[in-house]
Structure 1
Amino acid sequence: MFELSPRVQDLKQQIEAFMDEHIYPNEALFYQQVKENKWGAPPIQEELKAKAKSMGLWNLFLPHSERGAGLNNEEYGHLCEIMGRSSIAPEVFNCSAPDTGNMETIERYGSEEHKETWLKPLLAGEIRSCFSMTEPDVASSDATNIECEIRRDGDEYVINGTKWWSSGAMADSCKIAIVMGKTDANAPKHLQQSMILVPLNTPGVTIVRDLHVFGYDHAPHGHAEIKYENVRVPVSNILLGEGRGFEIAQGRLGPGRIHHCMRSIGVAERALEAMCRRAASRVAFGKPLYKHGSTSENIAKSRCEIDQARLLTIMAARSMDQFGNKVARQQIAMIKAVAPTMLCNVLDRAIQVHGAAGVCQDTFLASAYAKARTLRLADGPDEVHLGTIAKLEMSRYL
């Protein structure tokens, strides 16, 4: 369907083989080890990370950067889909969110000191990171509402505010946060915000609680509510400069949405496979489930929707590579609205075919659905993306 270079074809085959040999067989062990040490790094994960790194299956993102694998967004998208089939795989290849977005942010907008202190250990897989943007008291889908204060005081910035859904912050290995806050409330609307690096061991940083998603705590990754109370960091920790937060966000979120959507397509493919295997093996009312009209229709719909979402996502990635994130803005918004909704639909059908087994821990479907439903809010809710699409479409006629 897609013309891939020999190198990308080779990487794709290597990752598929790695998934079959090392990832799928160790999923149960991974979650057993998480129960034994909730926020620590499961030993099997560290073992697999070392194996992937030794094989060169490491840091495959970072388009147009000498620190990455030299792949563009479209090429990486095909690999990201395969990794997305298992929730434990992205970190094994050091390609997990929010670290990929944070590494791209520091690589593009950080100083040499930032890169040496934080990017280097992140690229080595020695630490993890979180992104503190969303706040509980304001509608954070409109980032101009954010109230977290970043106030300059001499050679330091003082940070005060409460954030939540800082994904990854619960992990023991999470050492650094990128915090988005307001440096100048009197500046033009989109020049009020800035991003700043805050080590999580800084005095005044308090992890208030972990947040659950439909009852899932997503250990060992987790999602945290964090309170920043008179947190002081050097002025040099600001990224790019005051008032550049929205500019950074534009550069950060485009590739991140490609990653989210391609991982979603990978999960959807796995869910469709599970649906088809169940439909072939389960007999109800005297015949296999796939011979019932409603089941076969759901299989067909799922196949169509997955392929549509993949084509749209690759088109967006290609547009980003050719013309840049700003020009590809509409396509990026389209995939972010389409892919998570598609995944929710496919998972819902797979759960229905599995019956009671689909909603318990005996399959990956229930956990995957919780994550998929959350993705319709993460990186902006559907409504925001649909509004962007409509606005750009109408601009051709007004």
Structure 2
Amino acid sequence: MKLAPLVSALGIAQIISWGSLFYAIGVLGAPMRAELGVSELFLFSVFTGALLVSGTFATLAGRLIDQRGGRFVLSLGSVLSIVAMLLLATAPNAAVMVAGWLVAGAAMAFCLYDPAFATLSRHAGERYRRSVTALTLFGGFASTVFWPLSLLLLEAWGWRMTFAIYAGIHAFVCFPIHRLFVPRHLALPHEAHGETAEPSPALGDPRLPWLTWSFAAATFVFGVVAVHLISLLTSAGLTAAQAVTISMLVGPMQVAGRIIELGISGRVRAVTVGVVAFLLMLVSLVALISVEGFGIAAIVFVTAYGWGNGVLTIVKGTAPAELFGRQGFGALLGHISRAGLYAKAVAPASFSGLLALGLTRNAALAAMVTVSIAGLGSFLMALRKRP
């Protein structure tokens, strides 16, 4: 089948889904909490809960893709997104707002990268890795599009109407994309006939826990830096304007890393790219510790951080297929991503906790270096041949 229409359509849906479910809170959160009378801590604790819900449903979403296909699961994600956006748009009090974000967390499990990757794995054949990279190129623009869009809509019509508009976009763009462009469920050659797909042999492989925890460690570190980026830079001597400038370069660096990965995907194994991604994460942290004002260390940091983060997203979808095959791949990706989503949920507060305990900025970052080294070690353990 022709993959370009499928990847392009899923890419548009990914921009919308990431932009509305994950990034919009950065712009719409302040006016929402001001009107509903809740604190910033309360709002982002609820969002942390949404990420935990996403992790909880990740394995179920993957298993459903194996059994019923991506069309059903991604469409369900669109329906949940519509419900979540409408709950947020009409929330009369904090309780309904909490319900809206928790439904949004469930929607994330059914319509973001992992279910999209698992869907592509059933239709892309040998072109799977390149299709994953191409899809992430679209997703990389979600914040670039939805932060200014959310601000524009907020200033024009307010946060409630913005969420209502996003509900409409999910209803009239994402849902039709998932119903019309995603092919019907396709059983893979190794799967038996019938409704029940064969489970992945990786679930009994001793290398799987190492791979799972390596990705969780990386997600934890990248999650810490993403949330605390501005304060980490300003505390190292950059002005607020300089820190914002550096942070704005992260997205383009992610896209640049993914373009490079696309160019070498036919010659370099995904697991090799994974090792490079972990090394880039380490380089970025060391550079961040070394930053003293706006200089070469800050440039090295944003380049290594952007490239490493951008490429690791691809590795999460391609390395498991390379190591374990694509039998029961949806459930496998869900199993792996669950730990990562939990890590992403607790990462920002964990780093804040280290600072609250009295650790200096650099000491707390040194702790992140330790987590990164552990993640790299776990990833290398996962690359061993199965005993």
Q: TM-score, normalised by structure 2?
A: 0.32
Instruction: Looking at secondary structure, tell me which structure has more strand per residue.
Output: 1
Instruction: Looking at secondary structure, tell me which structure has more helix per residue.
Output: 2
Name the structure, 1 or 2, with higher relative contact order (CA <8 Å, separation 6+).
2
Q: TM-score, normalised by structure 1?
A: 0.31
